[in-house]
Amino acid sequence: MIRRLVGLLFYACALVIIGLAIVVGVGRALAPHADEMRPWLEVALTDRLGLPVAIERVEAHWPRLTPQLQLNGVRVGEPDAPLASIDSASLDVHLPGLAGGAGNLFDLTVIGLDVELTEDEDGSWGLQLVRGGQLGGGDGLPAERVLTGNLLLREVEVRIQPQEWPATAWHLPEAELERSAERTALIGRIHPQADAASVLELRLLADHAAGSLEAIRAWFGLPGLDLGADLFAPFVPEAVDTRERLLQADLWLDWSRESGAGLSLDFALTGGEDEAVSGTLLAERIGRRVDLNLPEMKIGDEPVVSGLALAWHDRRAALAFDALDLDRLHRLLAPVSGLLPWWPERLEGQVDSVSLMLDLDESLHAVNGRIRELVLAPTGPVPGVEGLDLELGLAGDRVVLSPSGPATVMWPQQLRESVELDAIAGQLLLAPEGIEMRELSIAGDIVSARADGWIYLGPERPFLDFGIDVQRIEAGDPRPWLPRGIVPPRALEWLEQSLVHVDHASGQLLFHMRAGQRAADFDPGDFQAEIDFAGARMDYWPEWPLARLHEGQVRFLGRSLYGQVPSAHLGESTLSVDQVVIGDLTQPELVFLATADDADATALAATLADMPVAGWQALFDQTRWSGSLAFATEVTLPLRQMSEWHLDGEVEINDARVALPALGIELSALHGAAFFDRHRIVPTALQARAGQRMLTLDLAADFDAPTRLDIGAELHPADLLADDELADLVARHVTGTTFWRLGLDAVEDGLSITLESDLEGIGFELPEPANKLMPQSWPFRADVRLVDQDIELDLSLAESLEMAAWREAGDWTTTVGLHQPRPARPDNPGTVVRGQLNDLDLGAWVSLIDALPLPDARGVGRADIALSLGRLAWENLSIDAVELGLVREEGAWEASFDGDGARGRATIPSPLDSGRVLAVDLARLHLDHDRPEPDPTQLIAELGPGQTSTASPVGYPPLHLLIEDLRYRDLDLGRVRVESHATDSGVEIERVEASGETLSLQGRGRWVEGDAGPYSEFEGRLITDSLTELMTALGYEIGIQAARAQADLAGRWPGAPHDFSLQRLDGALDIEVSDGLIPEARPGAGRLLGLISISTIPRRLTLDFRDVFAQGLKFDRIEGRFRIADGVASTDELLIDAPAASIKVSGETDLIDRRYDQYLVVEPGVGGTLPLIGGLAGGPMGAAAGLVLQTLFDGPLRGIAEARYAVTGAWEAPEVDLVEARVTDEEGEERILLPEELDLD
């Protein structure tokens, strides 16, 4: 059975294939004769379309199993009024239709039409076939004559040309149209010509009856429409970003004539950086009522709005929604924000339970809802807010906004900074005619205020008619509250910069003007304000001193400002400001009158130093003011061009003091008045005290660049000096007065000071070469430049001194020229001196410099000094014709001497307490003594005990001194060596040696700090065979000639070693002189160091035996010890052993008062007695007068066995009195005789 069925199937298939082959073959054979079918086809198509059809020509093709007929020149409709003319169409033959009887044998396809839909000026649309055919009029055709049947459209180009929108071009690949008398169905796909991927699918079913449309049911599907395609570019403004955004949507439309229209839209917008936006929109229109519902719209999973419903009917409308997230709404509409100039930069908050009912004639019936945590940052000139809560309500027919809670207000156009508010309360009532503020109050940490009044709205700009009562502005920055729209820009800019702080303020503001009215158009009634303030700080101009306004009032009237400040500080100066005026805030010029009855000069100087006037800072920074003064000045500050500010005023100085520390100058008790303006001080005379002297100062100043102050006065230099110690020193060495000119010039970054005088009228009692007589003219000029802490000095004195000095970063550089131009400035800090002097008393200059109140020299830098000296003196010693060089390197001074009087080097550690050795190594040193030869009748006075050095020996360096050839006057001291080392208490001198041809010195000592101060000790021995030459070289004429002398000294004295003198010595002196002669000498000579007067001895003993003592007293030896303490030298038995006599000395010598109190015992020599021819005299301790015995007894005596004398009185005229004499008569008997028993006549 199955096999028979399979066989039948194969048999049937074969018959079909054979049949088809026969049909195809016959068809292809008949294809050239297709036009013969034209009448039949016209009848068939007329029956199919329901309208007459005419064909110009038919062509046939049989490419496959079914034929394809091409119809050219097809006309549909009546010949006189065709409905359409088609250039070309195709007719596909369906062979299966042959078996269907009445089935559709042909499919009519229209290919390649170019259709244009155009909107005319009246808004009506017309259809035109641009290519592929044309449309004709069909007016008057009955409804049943409208095109019916099936029609297939392919490759149709559609161009839509609206009147006000850019044209768009679409491509219809294929669409199927089925139409009957009651229903039309359309199925197709269409896409933009330039974007084949953006396909719009459509399904439409329309019911119509008797030519009238009764109902439409349609579906439109957008699987992915690229909104950034070129098709939409003409419709989308450039500000709208549609890049990479795809729209997916399903739209269902249902409309009927009876029930109205309904719409359901599901959409999703994807692409860009944001998440997809999706939602469902339902719309319905029944009669004249329209309802829209948006149940929910989301961004991603976050809802934007929920429960939104909108309805309107005729002139009435209602809106309600459950919730709206403003932040998400802001993000949703961001792509179109460029179309909205008022679009806020930031919008956040939650809107809940909103309902609104109104008539479209602007009548409200209900308003409800609330907004929580509103954040609004607008882009326009309106304020923004953050964190505000609003309740929506209705009062009558006005919307009521009731703000509450803390909030932040941002209003860049009016307020410089955001304002934090703790609370907002009150109401805003909105109506078409305006906005009413009813008890609208704000409160924050630093401010509380309330506003009441109206903002009237109308066809023109709003009119402001309200007042603001500012109850308080507490301590803080008031600038956020400055009304930018009220204060003109230039004045506002100044207030923004200057008004930095207010402790407290309150006041009222009244507005009665149109919004946006320019300040230049203000009338006094447009804007008024009265403000009381306290504790304000104003930085009223860059680089000017800060003003502190303790209390005051300010009043705005239109575009003018008036005020007063009874108590204020400008910088450090206390003052009051009686009048403050800005006549026109649009061209602001601040004028105020500042006064002070008892101003502090120190504070005022500091304030003036801070003023931005060229030179004032340098002038007042370098001077020091104190005392009291009064002033009154009017200051004008043109705020548009502050460089043209000016002031006029008067200052009265009352007992002020001024100092110039850089020069050590000070004036006190300043009195007088001066008038001034910005450019100058009118020349005037002031009274001042300089030192103890009252003087008149000629004062003048010019403040135009460069600023200069000139002062002139006749005075003593010490009068100007602020340092009392230095002033006393100058007063001791300078006498008289002279006229001085002091000029102070402001230079770039500093102050230049010029001090000039010819010095006529003053004398200098100074060491050479600076000694000056009062009538002499020595032109003097000093130029000092001060820049911050740096100093530059240029000084000249007559033709003898040129000096320059620079202090930079604390380091000094100095160059000095003496009787020659000063040398050039060295590359590194230090001192360079070059010059030549006939006479330099270095010791006197060192003593003078030591007396100066100078700082510690440890910071002295490098020094290089080279002087050519005719004579170099130190104390009473001098060196002739020497080249002196001093170079200070790191840690030491290197001195060099080159000349006939000295040659060699010395290294002096710096500082001295550094522990390094002070080394002196000289090949030769020849010293002269500058002390004049002593008068034989005078004794040289030495310093008393209180005049010694107080310098501490602690810290003095070790000493190594070696002089190969030391000469003192004509005395050859030979080779000299001194060695010492430092100890905790001072200096230990372990060796003092001198070895020459005529003397030898060995010793040791110390210089240490004791409980009572520094003292020196020495123990040593001096041996010489040239005693006379030695003592003469030391300044003593002792009149002794000796073959050998030795002195041993052991003692101490206060002060330094060079303070040695017998008057200060506390110790013992042992003397031993041998084989000598005490010659007859003139009075005053022969004083042995003030201890005894040697030369009077032979003169008192010679009497009439000139043959014995004519050449003086020969002696074998002189020896003894002196104990010296407290300026008194005492001895028990100084022995002069001579052949003629033996003389013993005992007693005391006052070395300070220079008086003798001694006894002499004279015994005869080998001869047994002293002859008594003519008398007896004695004077063993330096008496200048003696006693001559004219007669001794009535009877002849053999001689004197012993005589005792008392020596008293001053050294210059000692009294020698005989105390007693032991005599021997001719029988050899001895008797004691008193002076009254002797006949001295």
For residue range 562-576, list pLDDT tens digits in order: 999 898 888 888 889
Mean pLDDT throughout 525-533?
Answer: 89
Domain membership of residue 1077 (yes or no) is yes
Q: Give me the pLDDT at residue 929, please.
A: 73
pLDDT, tens digit, 9 for 90 and up, residues 181-207: 678 788 888 888 877 777 888 888 888
pLDDT at 661 over 60: yes
Tell which wins on pLDDT, 268 or 79: 268
Q: Which helix (H) or strand (E) holds 219?
A: strand 212-226
Q: Give me the pLDDT at residue 309, please.
A: 93
**Integer CA distances (angstroms), 1043 to 507, 999, 1122, 1140, 1165, in order:** 115, 12, 22, 19, 21
Mean pLDDT throughout 977-991?
Answer: 93
1227 burial level (CB within 10 Å; 0-12, 13-18, 19+): exposed
Q: Give me the pLDDT at residue 835, please.
A: 92
Q: DSSP of 843-886, one letter per residue? A: HHHHHHHHHS-PPPGGG--EEEEEEEEEEEEETTEEEEEEEEEE
Phi, psi values for residue 343, rounded to 5°: -60, 130
Q: Count other C-beta atoms under 10 Å from residue 694's C-beta.
A: 12
Q: Poorest-confidence range of 84-88, 467-471, 629-633?
A: 84-88
Domain membership of residue 166 (yes or no) is yes
Q: Domain end: 148, 181, 214, which one? A: 181
Contact 1014, 950 (CB under 8 A): yes
pLDDT, tens digit, 9 for 90 and up, residues 641-660: 887 888 898 989 888 888 87
Contact 1226, 1196 (CB under 8 A): yes
pLDDT, tens digit, 9 for 90 and up, residues 395-435: 888 899 999 989 888 877 667 778 888 899 999 998 888 88
Q: Give me the pLDDT at residue 976, please.
A: 94
Tell which wins on pLDDT, 87 or 1173: 87
Mean pLDDT throughout 299-304?
Answer: 88
Q: Give me the pLDDT at residue 93, please.
A: 61
Domain membership of residue 785 (yes or no) is no
Q: How many residues does the chain have?
A: 1241
Report the share of the chain in percent with pLDDT over 70: 79
**Integer CA distances (angstroms), 253 to 266, 280, 1085, in order:** 12, 14, 154
Mean pLDDT throughout 1144-1155?
Answer: 89
**Which of 867-871, 1039-1043, 1086-1090 has the largest mean confidence?**
867-871
Phi, psi values for residue 635, rounded to 5°: -115, 130
* Strand ranges in 474-588 using DSSP code E only, listed in sequence order: 499-514, 527-538, 547-557, 560-570, 573-582
Domain membership of residue 1066 (yes or no) is yes
Q: Poorest-confidence range of 150-164, 548-562, 665-679, 1043-1057?
A: 150-164
Structure tokens at 728: 């006393």
Mean pLDDT throughout 93-98?
Answer: 54
1005 burial level (CB within 10 Å; 0-12, 13-18, 19+): buried
Q: Give me the pLDDT at residue 873, please.
A: 85
Mean pLDDT of the chain: 79
850 burial level (CB within 10 Å; 0-12, 13-18, 19+): exposed
Instruction: Categorize the per-residue pLDDT at 1183 as very low, low, confident or very high, splitting at 50, 70 and 90.
Output: very low
What's 284-319 look like in SS3?
Answer: EEECCEEEEEEEEEEECCEEEEEEEEEEEECCEEEE
Q: Which helix (H) or strand (E) holds 242?
A: none
Q: Give me the pLDDT at residue 227, please.
A: 73
Alpha helices in 219-363 (DSSP H): 326-332
Closest CA to 983 of 958, 960, 961: 958
pLDDT, tens digit, 9 for 90 and up, residues 107-160: 667 777 777 777 677 655 555 666 555 555 444 444 444 445 567 777 888 887
End-to-end CA distance of the chain: 214
Q: Domain end: 124, 146, 181, which one? A: 181
Question: Who contacts 376 (Cβ-Cβ below 8 Å, separation ≥6)?
Answer: 344, 346, 347, 349, 384, 385, 386
Mean pLDDT throughout 1102-1124?
Answer: 68
Q: Give me the pLDDT at residue 903, please.
A: 95
Q: Within the chain, how many helices (H) and strands (E) appear?
A: 12, 71
Q: Poorest-confidence range of 50-54, 714-718, 1119-1123?
A: 50-54
pLDDT at 1175 over 60: no
Q: Give me the pLDDT at residue 181, please.
A: 65
Question: Who contacts 164 (Cβ-Cβ below 8 Å, separation ≥6)?
Answer: none
Mean pLDDT throughout 1113-1121?
Answer: 88
pLDDT, tens digit, 9 for 90 and up, residues 1056-1096: 887 888 888 999 999 999 998 877 644 443 445 555 555 45
**Integer CA distances (angstroms), 711 to 605, 707, 1093, in order:** 18, 14, 65
pLDDT at 37 over 90: no
Q: What is the DSSP letter of 1091?
A: T
pLDDT at 1052 over 90: yes
Question: Who contacts 1170 (Cβ-Cβ below 8 Å, separation ≥6)?
Answer: 1101, 1141, 1162, 1164, 1176, 1199, 1200, 1203
Instruction: Categorize the per-residue pLDDT at 92 as very low, low, confident or very high, splitting at 50, 70 and 90.
Output: low
Q: Give me the pLDDT at residue 138, please.
A: 44
Tell which wins on pLDDT, 883 or 89: 883
Domain membership of residue 203 (yes or no) is no
**Which of 216-225, 600-609, 1002-1011 has the largest mean confidence?**
1002-1011
Domain membership of residue 1185 (yes or no) is yes
pLDDT, tens digit, 9 for 90 and up, residues 884-912: 998 988 788 899 999 988 999 999 888 77
**Integer CA distances (angstroms), 179 to 101, 147, 1202, in order:** 21, 8, 189
CA distance 1189 to 1102: 12
Assign residue 520 a region: left if phi > 0, alpha if psi is -120 to 50, beta otherwise?
alpha
Residue 644: half-sphere exposure toward Cβ, Cα within 13 Å: 7
Question: Who contacts 497 (Cβ-Cβ below 8 Å, separation ≥6)?
Answer: 539, 540, 541, 542
Domain membership of residue 697 (yes or no) is no
pLDDT at 1102 over 50: no
Q: Give me the pLDDT at residue 693, please.
A: 79
**Token pair 């249902």 in the structure block, residue:** 254
Q: Give me the pLDDT at residue 1140, please.
A: 79
Mean pLDDT throughout 851-872?
Answer: 73
Instruction: Categorize the per-residue pLDDT at 1107 as very low, low, confident or very high, splitting at 50, 70 and 90.
Output: very low
Q: Count other C-beta atoms under 10 Å from residue 237's C-beta.
A: 8
Q: Count other C-beta atoms under 10 Å from residue 895's C-beta.
A: 17
Burial 593-627 (b: 16+ CB within 10 A, else e): bbebeebbbbbbbbbbbbbebebbbbbbbbbbbbb
CA distance 802 to 787: 22
One-letter amino acid at 122 equals D
**What is the number of domains present in the chain?**
2
Report the share of the chain in percent with pLDDT over 90: 18
- 3-class secondary structure, 565: strand
Q: Poorest-confidence range of 341-350, 930-939, 1153-1162, 1171-1180?
A: 1171-1180
Assign residue 430 a region: left if phi > 0, alpha if psi is -120 to 50, beta otherwise?
beta
| Residues spanned by the domain of 1088 | 1061-1237
pLDDT at 45 over 80: no
Instruction: Categorize the per-residue pLDDT at 977 as very low, low, confident or very high, splitting at 50, 70 and 90.
Output: very high
Domain membership of residue 1184 (yes or no) is yes
Q: Domain end: 181, 213, 232, which one? A: 181
Mean pLDDT throughout 692-706?
Answer: 80
